Amino acid sequence: MHLQESGEMYLETILILSEKSDEVRSIDVGEYMGYSKPSVSRAIGLLKSGGYVVSDSDGYLSLTDAGREVAEKIYERHRFLTDFLVRLGVDEKTAAEDACRMEHDISDASFSALKAFICDNFD
């Protein structure tokens, strides 16, 4: 199953919330993202059927290994690109918004090359 940007965003959100608490529910995801219960329920259902998310008998969500891999990749890109844009002088809010758009579209090869270049030349 190929994930669309919205699926990646849900996985990233679950990762972020799970770093703050061991108990992440669909309602927490919806509140964090500002989405309605039906939208979250549908998305979580698709992520479950795709093997990215599981839930226990109490409704708490966990990422599978595949889900964690995608979420960590997207979240790393988000943090790295936000930091880079801020270093270039972009304000934090705009940098985070732009990074959020870029993190989903940049190829693995381009991100790796950009990261290597920046780390080699600017740290």
Own/partner long-range contacts of 13-20 (Cβ < 8 Å, ≥24 apart): 14/53, 14/61, 14/63, 14/67, 14/71, 15/63, 15/68, 15/71, 15/72, 15/75, 16/75, 18/61, 18/62, 18/63
- Does residue 19 have a pLDDT over 90? yes
Does the pTM of the predicted model rise above 0.85?
A: yes
Among 98, 70, 71, 72, residue whose Cα is nearest residue 84: 98
pLDDT of residue 1: 56
The mean per-residue pLDDT over the stretch 14-32 comes to 95
Q: What is the pLDDT of residue 116?
A: 93
Name the band, by pLDDT with cuts 50, 70 and 90, for residue 22: confident
Q: What are the tens digits of pLDDT across the range 41-51?
A: 999 999 999 99
Q: Which domains does the chain have, with CATH numbers?
A: 5-67 (1.10.10.10), 70-122 (1.10.60.10)
Residue 92 has pLDDT above 90, yes or no: yes
Q: What is the mean pLDDT of the chain?
A: 93
